[in-house]
């Protein structure tokens, strides 16, 4: 794997993956000739059925899996947040955030990051005394303090209750606006992907099977007709029937599909078009 600090300029992709192949033992290829580029500052969500290889891809980008074949170029400055906060129980919250920082101002930086996630009052707390939402905010601070050019998030909200989940999604959106790392968010939640991301990808049969540019103004709301239309489209791509399908509207850019869709989607494609035109008109 190449780690290229120089590849962080805005005009270059910060992530460039070509022909990535990964299998385990004698099993089939989980990632099978996967190509992916993510631009500086771009927020990308990754969907796909359970076992399709999302975490495998994320671990590869994080440098936690050295076995794959292919080309993987990522920035040296990257950070990961998992579903579990993975805090060290015997270090105080601020020390968890400062873990691994080698600068004399490590504590100040940790304090500033914890302030950004609303945890100034829990600096000296032990991790086991934090609520689930607080612990995940501490994990976000630990990622943020490294000023990553690439932030990798593997279902970071999945273990949170519905309200905390919404708040934490909002926090990630505002941290992204303030710091502008490129983000790869693995999620099972189509709404979450559409609320947060510039692009939504679907991993299927070891490759990016579908690539949807989300041309909706922010902040996004479920009530937007264009939102509902894109939601229906993605659910269809995932092979899930939408319980409340909406009349399709259009999108500005034609989604890229690299593999066959689950079912013919002509009407939905028309629908996605109208949605984007609507979004553009309002921007
Ligand atoms: N270390 C490993 N050894 C053997 N098989 C593995 C290993 N890691 C992953 N796999 C297999 O690779 C496939 C992809 O796993 P991965 O965790 O990437 O899926 P995923 O898309 O993240 O799924 P989920 O949505 O359930 O988290 C699965 O079949 C899994 O069992
Ligand atoms: Mg996973």
pLDDT at 246: 62
pLDDT category of residue 121 using cuts at 50, 70 and 90: very high
What does the alpha-carbon distance between residue 163 and residue 234 come to, in Å, rounded to a whole number?
Answer: 24
Contact status, residue 283 vs residue 220, Cβ threshold 8 Å: no
60 lines ligand 1 (CB under 6 A): no
pLDDT category of residue 248 using cuts at 50, 70 and 90: low
Ligand nearest to the CA of 32: 1
Averaged pLDDT, 196-217 = 96
CA of 206 to the centre of ligand 1 (A): 12
Q: How many CA atoms lie within 13 A of 246 on its CB side?
A: 21
Which of 6-15, 80-89, 137-146, 190-199 bottoms out in mean pLDDT, i.e. has the lowest? 6-15
Going along the chain from its start, the domains and CATH numbers come out as 2-214 (3.40.50.300), 215-283 (no CATH)
Strands of the chain (E only): list them: 2-3, 13-23, 29-39, 43-47, 69-74, 78-81, 150-154, 182-186, 199-204, 207-213, 256-257
74: β partners: 3
Nearest to 135 by CA among 122, 147, 151, 148: 122
Residue 182, pLDDT above cutoff 70: yes
Residue 44, pLDDT above cutoff 50: yes
CA of 44 to the centre of ligand 1 (A): 20
CA of 266 to the centre of ligand 2 (A): 31
Averaged pLDDT, 67-79 = 92
Contact status, residue 197 vs residue 227, Cβ threshold 8 Å: no
pLDDT at 194: 97
pTM for the full predicted model? 0.85
Averaged pLDDT, 56-85 = 94
50 lines ligand 1 (CB under 6 A): yes
Residue-wise over 16-31: b if at least 16 C-beta within 10 A, else e?
A: bbeebebbeeeeebbb
Residue 122, pLDDT above cutoff 80: yes
24 lines ligand 1 (CB under 6 A): yes
Structure tokens at 29: 């290829």
Three-class SS state of 19: strand
pLDDT tens per residue, range 140-170:
999 999 999 999 999 999 999 999 999 999 9
pLDDT at 12: 73
Ligand nearest to the CA of 22: 1
pLDDT category of residue 75 using cuts at 50, 70 and 90: very high
pLDDT category of residue 258 using cuts at 50, 70 and 90: low
For a mutational test of ligand 1's pocket, the pick from 51, 66, 83, 156, i.e. the residue with the most ligand atoms closer than 8 A to its C-beta, is 51
Residue-wise over 36-57: b if at least 16 C-beta within 10 A, else e?
A: bebebebbbbbbbeeebbbbbb
What average pLDDT does the structure give for the chain? Answer: 86
Integer distance in angstroms from the first to the last C-alpha of the chain? 40
For a mutational test of ligand 1's pocket, the pick from 32, 48, 55, 153, i.e. the residue with the most ligand atoms closer than 8 A to its C-beta, is 55
What does the alpha-carbon distance between residue 207 and residue 258 come to, in Å, rounded to a whole number?
Answer: 8
pLDDT at 67: 76
Contact status, residue 213 vs residue 257, Cβ threshold 8 Å: no
28 lines ligand 1 (CB under 6 A): no
Averaged pLDDT, 158-187 = 95
pLDDT at 207: 98
34 sits in which H/E element? strand 29-39
pLDDT at 253: 43
Atom of ligand 1 nearest to the CA of 186: 22
For a mutational test of ligand 1's pocket, the pick from 21, 53, 203, 204, i.e. the residue with the most ligand atoms closer than 8 A to its C-beta, is 53
183 sits in which H/E element? strand 182-186
């Amino acid at each position: 794997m190449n780690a290229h600090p120089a590849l962080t300029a805005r005009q270059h992709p910060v992530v460039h993956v070509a022909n990535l192949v990964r299998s385990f033992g004698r099993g089939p290829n989980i990632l099978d000739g996967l190509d992916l580029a993510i631009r500086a500052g771009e927020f990308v969500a990754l969907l796909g059925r359970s076992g399709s290889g999302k975490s495998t891809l994320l671990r590869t980008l994080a440098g936690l899996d050295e076995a794959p074949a292919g080309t993987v170029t990522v920035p040296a400055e990257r950070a990961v947040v998992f579903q579990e906060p993975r805090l060290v129980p015997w270090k105080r919250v601020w020390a968890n955030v400062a873990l691994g920082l080698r600068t004399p101002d490590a504590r100040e930086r940790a304090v500033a990051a914890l302030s950004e996630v609303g945890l100034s009052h829990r600096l000296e707390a032990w991790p086991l005394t934090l609520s689930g939402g607080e612990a995940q905010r501490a994990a976000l601070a630990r990622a943020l303090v490294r000023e990553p050019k690439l932030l990798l998030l593997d279902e970071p909200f999945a273990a949170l209750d519905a309200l905390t989940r919404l708040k934490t999604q909002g926090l990630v959106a505002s941290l992204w606006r303030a710091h502008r790392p490129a983000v790869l968010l693995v999620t099972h939640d189509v709404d979450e992907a559409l609320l947060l991301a510039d692009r939504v990808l679907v991993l299927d049969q070891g490759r990016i099977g579908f690539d949807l540019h989300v041309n909706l103004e922010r902040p996004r709301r479920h009530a937007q007709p264009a939102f509902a239309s894109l939601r229906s489209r993605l659910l269809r791509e995932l092979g899930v029937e939408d319980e409340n399908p909406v009349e399709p509207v259009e999108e500005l850019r034609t989604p890229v599909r690299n593999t066959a869709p689950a079912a013919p989607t002509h009407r939905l494609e028309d629908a996605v078009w109208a949605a984007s035109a609507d979004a553009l008109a309002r921007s």
